[in-house]
């Protein structure tokens, strides 16, 4: 299991370095500062066709090709930047200061370290451009998120929800048809909007009040954060598990997938088990305090550190 994580991260870092070098080369060849994905995708597809299942199964989204998922993965992490209309370019090399003061270099043009975990490269001091972890990834607290979007709720809308997601007393979510709403309670609503011949699924943060829905649309990428916010509203807590393996490796087991922002931060210092909805990560002992701080922001509590078997 440990070797699979290491192999996966080594492969990701190898192709990250390759993509950045490819973008530089194409920019020089065509005298431009950005590269369209159609120049990157065929090259990556040929390379990925030769890859092992460890790498390919990491990108499980069948609706998108593996090369496209990989470019979006790098863009989320700040290794490259999507500038619109399927064009990509490079950020300047910079460091991110983690919670414990360590620095991780991202968008680095240096060859990756073979056995490192996480997309960032550890460095002893900041580069000319250096960001705090909050500058790198803005994360609204659950309190602020709820306050902002509660103030946006309105009964002036045209939605007729299909299903709703609500929070159970046991600390989990349940999706159901529209029924048994409680006065003043908050929900997430699902609505299929018909646009011409297409159906666009939409999600709404909602409150049932005075016999009608007050709603506001959930922005793209924020769905999981709203789920966590609803759990926070109910004062629910969840526990994650750390498992200590040989050679200084720590496995992190989560009960739920993280919000997008915390997942991106954690991927700087840890390797997830999959791209889309990871619940397990592997990191090293020197990153434990950073992991704890990231997960505490999501209102997780830490379970007892367990001893695992290195394999």
Measured CA to CA, the distance from residue 293 to residue 103 in angstroms comes to 16
Helix (H, G, I), strand (E, B) or coil at 300: strand
What pLDDT was estimated at residue 170?
66
Give the predicted TM-score (pTM) of the model: 0.93
pLDDT band at 62 (very low <50, low <70, confident <90, very high): confident
CB 52 within 8 A of CB 77: no
Q: Which of the pair, 111 or 138, is modelled with greater confidence?
A: 138
Measured CA to CA, the distance from residue 164 to residue 166 in angstroms comes to 6
Angle between helices 223-233 and 142-150 (to 10 degrees): 100
What pLDDT was estimated at residue 167?
83
Bridge partners of 106, per DSSP, are 94
Bridge partners of 88, per DSSP, are 35, 82
Choose the weakest-confidence range: 194-198, 220-224, 233-237. Answer: 233-237
CB 86 within 8 A of CB 38: yes
């Amino acid at each position: 299991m440990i070797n699979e994580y290491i192999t996966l991260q080594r492969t990701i870092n190898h192709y990250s370095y390759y993509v950045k070098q490819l973008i530089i080369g194409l920019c020089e060849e065509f005298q431009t500062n950005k590269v369209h994905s159609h120049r990157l995708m065929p090259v990556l597809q040929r390379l990925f066709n030769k890859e092992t299942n460890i790498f390919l199964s990491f990108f499980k989204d069948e609706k998108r090709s593996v090369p496209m998922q990989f470019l979006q993965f790098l863009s989320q992490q700040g290794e490259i930047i999507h500038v619109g209309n399927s064009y990509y370019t490079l950020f300047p090399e910079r460091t991110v200061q983690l919670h414990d003061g360590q620095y991780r270099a991202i968008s680095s043009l240096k060859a990756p370290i073979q056995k490192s975990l996480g997309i960032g490269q550890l460095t002893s001091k900041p580069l000319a451009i250096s960001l705090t972890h909050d500058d790198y990834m803005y994360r609204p607290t659950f309190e602020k998120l709820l306050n902002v979007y509660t103030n946006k709720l309105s009964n002036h809308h045209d939605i007729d929800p299909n299903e709703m997601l609500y929070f159970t007393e046991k600390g989990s979510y349940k999706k159901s048809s529209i029924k048994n709403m409680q006065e003043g309670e908050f929900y997430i609503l699902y609505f299929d909007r018909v646009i011409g011949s297409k159906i666009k699924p939409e999600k709404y943060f909602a409150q049932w009040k005075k016999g009608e829905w007050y709603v506001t649309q959930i922005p793209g990428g924020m769905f999981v954060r709203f789920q966590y916010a609803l759990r926070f509203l109910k004062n629910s807590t969840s526990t994650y598990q750390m498992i200590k393996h040989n050679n200084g490796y720590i496995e992190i087991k989560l009960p739920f997938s993280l919000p997008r922002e915390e997942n991106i931060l954690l991927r700087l210092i840890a390797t997830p088990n999959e791209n889309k909805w990871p619940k397990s990560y592997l990191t090293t002992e020197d990153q434990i305090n950073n992991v704890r701080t990231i997960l505490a922001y999501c209102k997780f509590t830490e379970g007892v550190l367990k001893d695992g078997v290195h394999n």
